[in-house]
Amino acid sequence: MSCLMVERCGAVTFEKSETQNATQVRMLADGRQSTCHPVVLLAERRGSFPLIDLRILKTSDQRGEVESSTRKKVKRLLSFQRYCHSSRLLRGDVPQTPGSLHLLDEDYLGQAVHMLSKVGTWNFDIFLFDRLTNGNSLVMLMCHLFNVYGLIHHFQLDMVKLHRFLGMLQEGYHSQNPYHNAVHAADVTQAMYCYLKEPRLAEQLSLLDVFLGLTAAAAHDVDHPGVNQPFLVKTRHHLASLYQNTSVLESHHWRSTVGMLRESGLLSHLPADLSRRRKDYLQDIEQQLGSLILATDISRQNEFLLTFREHLENQDLDLTLASHRHFMLQIALKCADVCNPCRDWELSKQWSERVCEEFYRQGDVEKKFELEISPLCNQQTDSVPAIQTGFISYIVEPLFEEWQRFTQPSLLSQTMTGHLKKNKARWSRLRYAQASVDVHSCSRDDEPEGGEGGGEEEEIEEENIP
């Protein structure tokens, strides 16, 4: 059986392999006694979710979201006409039939379409766009960008198959993840679009390069379980075994994407002017998508960074070569994946809090089941400001310094660098203020009862930090 078949049938295989542990599965699922309930959960997870105590993960804010997931899916399915209409609207091809429902669609999508006209700006608010599109930000964004570049016409894509693929992709993300969800995928895709427009890169990109870059961005975290690779390895998750503990999540994202491409039939027909056989062309597309998605593995950061620096120092990047363009697409996707600290503070702060919340949830599960708590996942010792300053210093800054050199530098890269410096300084001040409060609190705790200094502690708020 191929890896792909294993990926697509993962839920059933995993269910069968865990039959002898049904009691444990029920306990870790949500504590119910119904023997059929774990089956439903595993099917919804598409095979990737580890057995996590959902009672921990379902906070009061999430519970309503989880319970309304079916209702949201129905709304998204009913929005198919809106997807098609938005595509026609963007092309200026809107029927003028009196009494048609297109007026309702136009009113519903008006603000979203207005936002799409500014999708190439760096201050694009993906959270607002997701609300305006009723949670369909990834589908709407991809349809728009495919129209902008003329990819639908060039690759002769069927609109129904395209919608089917994008819908599968969007539903493949888990909305209960605070960070690794479809909104994150849409945010990375929007950032990728901005990078593809960089003059030095845009001049040399082919339409196939654009298709690969946007698709890889949209799919790079599909079916993410909300925990990291070390968690999957130490809990002996079936995905860790399948991919031999190497780029486990990224490999799964890639294989899931390939499965969706094949299932949707999006590339079942190709432009007539292709000289290579269709099968070879499809395999090449799948492999290139895999190469791009696998590049987002954070453990390979130094590998790509060193190669990027060598190219820039030797000045030997030749973007007329397909291999060099592909490497730059890998770098662009890596930048898009970690660009949150380069956004405006209000957007950046939201993403920072979301990713840390996801870390903390993993830490809570590890603590509950007496596993070693992973780095950055202990809410008692790992604060958001500390995590973010470290992330910026060791991951984001080195990468974007080289990206700025590559763009020579562009207005966008200068803007991102400016936000990055300001955000790092702000997180550093918050970290210092928090540490000062902790030290002061500890000193108060050590004082004998009735001692001096028992006055009310002055509260330090973020807005008061210079």
Query: 262-287: b or e for each residue (b if 16 or more CB lie within 10 Å)?
Result: bebebbeeeeeeeeeeeeebbeebbe
The domain segmentation of the chain, as residue ranges, is 118-435
Residue 269 DSSP one-character state: S
40 is in an annotated binding site: no
314 is in an annotated binding site: no
Give me the catalytic one of 144, 163, 180, 419: 180
Q: Is 172 exposed, middle or buried (0-12, 13-18, 19+ CB in 10 A)?
A: buried
Residue 246 DSSP one-character state: S
Q: Is 26 exposed, middle or buried (0-12, 13-18, 19+ CB in 10 A)?
A: middle
Residue 298 DSSP one-character state: G
Of the chain, the end-to-end C-alpha distance in Å amounts to 60
Find out whether 292 and 216 touch, Cβ atoms under 8 Å. Answer: yes
- The contacts of residue 247 (CB under 8 Å, 6+ apart) are 229, 294, 297, 299, 300
- The contacts of residue 101 (CB under 8 Å, 6+ apart) are 81
184 is in an annotated binding site: yes
Q: What is the rounded distance in angstroms from the CA atom of residue 220 to the CA atom of residue 23?
A: 34
221 is in an annotated binding site: yes
Q: What is the rounded distance in angstroms from the CA atom of residue 67 to the CA atom of residue 70?
A: 7
464 is in an annotated binding site: no
Active site residue 180: yes
Residue for token digits 């379980």? Answer: 225
Number of Cβ within 10 Å of residue 23's Cβ equals 11
User: H or E element: which one contains 126?
Assistant: helix 126-132
181 is in an annotated binding site: yes
Q: What is the rounded distance in angstroms from the CA atom of residue 391 to the CA atom of residue 398?
A: 11
Q: What is the rounded distance in angstroms from the CA atom of residue 225 to the CA atom of residue 11?
A: 13
Residue for token digits 């029920």? Answer: 26
248 is in an annotated binding site: no
* Residue 104, CA distances (Å) to 77, 85, 110 in order: 17, 11, 10
The structure tokens listed for 377 are 């996942």
In 3D space, the residue among 81, 77, 16 whose CA is nearest the CA of residue 43 turns out to be 16
pLDDT per residue of the chain (466 residues) written in tens, 0 to 9: 444 444 444 443 444 444 444 444 334 333 333 333 333 333 333 444 444 444 444 444 444 554 555 565 555 554 544 455 545 544 444 444 443 334 335 555 688 989 999 999 999 999 999 999 999 999 999 999 999 999 999 999 999 999 999 999 999 999 999 999 999 999 999 999 999 999 999 999 999 999 999 999 999 999 999 999 999 999 999 999 999 999 999 999 999 999 999 999 999 886 544 445 667 888 999 999 999 999 999 999 999 999 999 999 999 999 999 999 999 999 999 999 999 999 999 999 999 999 999 999 999 999 999 999 999 999 999 999 999 999 999 999 999 999 999 999 999 999 999 999 999 999 999 999 987 776 666 656 555 554 444 444 333 334 333 3
pTM over 0.95? The answer is no
Q: What is the rounded distance in angstroms from the CA atom of residue 5 to the CA atom of residue 312?
A: 41
Q: What is the rounded distance in angstroms from the CA atom of residue 446 to the CA atom of residue 369?
A: 33
Q: What is the rounded distance in angstroms from the CA atom of residue 64 to the CA atom of residue 66?
A: 6
CATH of domain 118-435: 1.10.1300.10
